[in-house]
Every structure is written in structure tokens, then in C-alpha cells.
Amino acid sequence: MTEIIEMKWICGFWRRIGAFLLDSVVLGIVGLGMGFFLEKFFVEIGAWGILIGFSIALIYFGIMNSGLANGQTLGKKALEIRVVDGKNKPISFIKSIGRYSVIGIPYFLNGAQFPVEATSTVWHEIFSFVCFCVYLSVVYLYVFNRNTRQSLHDLIFGTYVVNAQAEKASVGSISRPHLVAVSLFFTVTVIVSVLALHLAQQGALSDINKSQQFSMINPSVKYAAVSFGENIVSTFRTGTTETSFASAEVLLKDNHIENTVLAHEVAEYIANAYPQALEKDVILINLVYGYDIGIASKWYRHSHTINPNELVSDQKVKSKENVN
């Protein structure tokens, strides 16, 4: 009987997920509306636009999950659940802000490509990994902590998500294996961070992506990232074929994604910065224009395929011209 009462007070998994999805739709509509009027501005600020989306989400969840709105976002209100403390009372606005920050920071900032001058490569990678582990802990507790249904942000601030009309019932504590699992996630995070710093000091991670410097050479480019790889395709007719490639993801300041001259110019720079690119079967230049503010995004993309042999021929011609 006691277990039935507890389940009536503590919100179930799917109702909580449903409320989150409804809130995501609300924020998405807000973000798309802002993007309609402020697209150019969002493109200009680039990765910093994530902070706009984070701020909007922080204010929304901070206010709505607090006593100012009876602990109910629009999604929670629709599904009749709310955020409370251990006494079944709504929490303060400050506490609600801190609670959402635990999941909001890793969600919005994990993988964001900020300018090189804002953060070094190694610290960026460490920060991304820490955010990933925090988010992994949040998801793990969401799924497996069936006793109290508290996730990481709930445990830190002593909150529960409960059915709004139910009377408070006693609940047990979180199982020790779950705490061990979360502790293991953070232990791995510390170990990986220390190893990353050690490798950086030895120079293994000291080579900053040269392609990011392209933005200082061509004013049309905001950011560029280069990668190398191979495509392996197997068919009954032709058997297995391998195609090696050098690929560049190039973020533009203006919508010139079909500019073949610019694509060729980027390819030439890559060939000079990374001579091994000329040894690949193909060079792929992906010109991208758009924005991402976390709660909404809009992207235009066009891929340009360039034969490395063309670049080799151009370099030979330029060398002869310089000699003459």
C-alpha cells in the first residue's frame, strides 16, 4: 500500500518526459520567431548565439519551476505535475535557477565552437567531456533511479517532480549503486582531463587547427574545420572500394554557399596548410551558412567536390609564373 501512495506522489518517467517535450516545443517556437526577425544578427554572433538560447531557457525554467509559477512550466501544467522540495512546497527562484543550470549548461554548451581566442583547444575538449559526463549522469538517473525519480539536478538541490494533485508521501532514498555509477562517471572525467593536460604539455595536442586561421585570410569565412578520412563502399557488382578524402566544414558570414571560387580558394589553403590533402582522392569543401541558438537553428549547406590533381596543376603553373 505504501508503494502505491509513493507512486501517486512521485511523478512517473513518461509524464515527466512528456512535459519536457512540450516545453521544448514552446521554446522552439520562441526561438524560431526570434530567428525570423534576427537571423542576420544570430549569424554574425556565431557560436555565442548559444548563450542567447541558454539565457531564454534559464529564465523560462527558472521562473516556471519556482514558486513564482507554483513549480509548473507550461508542459508540467498541461500534464499536472510540478517541482517541489522535500516538504512538497515550491522552491525559490534562485534555487530553481541553480537546479536548471546543472542540466542547461551541458546541454547548451557541450560541443559549441567558440573562437580560438576564447579558449584553447585542449581546454575546450576537456570542457566538452565534462559537460558530456554531467549530461550522462542526468540521463542515467532519469532512467534508472526508479525509487525517487530524482536526477542529478534534483539530488543536488533536494527537489522532486511530483503529481500536482497528490498528497505528500514518504519515499526511500536513492539506491547506492546509482550513486556509485554517477561517482564513476565523474572519476573517469577527472582521469581523462588529467591525461589530456599531460598530453598537451608533451605536444600531442598542441597543434591548433590551422584551418581556423583561414578566417584571417579570407573575410568571408568565420570558421573552418578540417578532417581526413576514408569512405568504404561494398557492392556485389564492384566489390569493395575505398575513397580517401580531406574535408572542410566552412562557416560563412554571408549566404554564398554556392560560390565555387571561394570553395576552390579554401581548398588551395588546405593544400598549403596540410600537404597530405593532395595525396587524397578527393577534397570536399562544405560551405555552410546559418545559426544555432540552442532552442532553434537554421542552416544552409552546399558541398563542393574538388580534385586534388587540379590543385597540383595550379601550383605548378604558379611556380612557373613566379620563376618567369
Domain CATH code at residue 317? 3.30.70
Q: In this structure, what are the phi and psi dihedrals at residue 289, rounded to the nearest 5 degrees?
A: -140, 135
Q: Are 52 and 44 in contact (CB under 8 A)?
A: no
pLDDT at 198: 60
Residues 130 and 225 in one domain: no
Q: Are 264 and 272 in contact (CB under 8 A)?
A: no
DSSP codes, 71-93: T--HHHHHTTEEEEETTS-PBPH
245 or 324, higher pLDDT: 245
Residues 190 and 222 in one domain: no
Evaluate if residue 303 carries a pLDDT over 70: yes
- Domain total of the chain: 2
pLDDT at 116: 45
Residues 237 and 187 in one domain: no
Q: What percent of the chain has pLDDT over 70?
A: 79
pLDDT at 159: 96
pLDDT at 270: 86
pLDDT band at 242 (very low <50, low <70, confident <90, very high): confident
- Report the range of poorest mean pLDDT among 57-66, 88-97, 103-112, 259-268: 103-112
Evaluate if residue 124 carries a pLDDT over 70: no
Most confident of 77-86, 194-203, 205-214: 77-86
Residues 45 and 89 in one domain: yes
| Section 164-183 average pLDDT | 86
Residues 23 and 171 in one domain: yes
* C-alpha distance from residue 282 to each of 50, 101, 324 (Å): 33, 44, 31
How many CA atoms are closer than 13 Å to the CA of 63, on its beta-carbon side? 6
Residues 179 and 221 in one domain: no
Residues 246 and 135 in one domain: no
Provide the domain limits for residue 192.
2-201
Asked which of 172, 201, 230 is the last residue of a domain, the reply is: 201
* C-alpha distance from residue 276 to each of 162, 186, 244 (Å): 58, 38, 11
Evaluate if residue 264 carries a pLDDT over 50: yes
Pairing label, strands 282-292, 239-252: parallel
Residues 140 and 225 in one domain: no
Evaluate if residue 169 carries a pLDDT over 50: yes
Residues with Cβ within 8 Å of 5's Cβ and at least 6 positions away in sequence, in order, are: 167, 169
What mean pLDDT is reported for the chain?
A: 83
pLDDT tens, position by position, 88-121: 999 999 999 999 999 998 888 765 555 544 444 5
Residues 19 and 154 in one domain: yes
pLDDT at 23: 98
Evaluate if residue 274 carries a pLDDT over 90: no
Asked which of 173, 201, 229 is the last residue of a domain, the reply is: 201
* pTM (2 d.p.): 0.80
Residues 147 and 224 in one domain: no
Residue 289's nearest CA partner among 242, 222, 226, 236 is 222
Residue identified by cell 576564447 is 118
DSSP codes, 97-152: HHHHHHHHHHHHHTT----GGGS-HHHHHHHHHHHHHHHHHHHHHHHH-TTT---H
| Section 251-263 average pLDDT | 93
Distance of alpha carbon 225 from alpha carbon 296, whole angstroms: 23
Residues 191 and 285 in one domain: no
| Section 170-199 average pLDDT | 79
Evaluate if residue 216 carries a pLDDT over 60: no
Asked which of 201, 219, 240 is the last residue of a domain, the reply is: 201
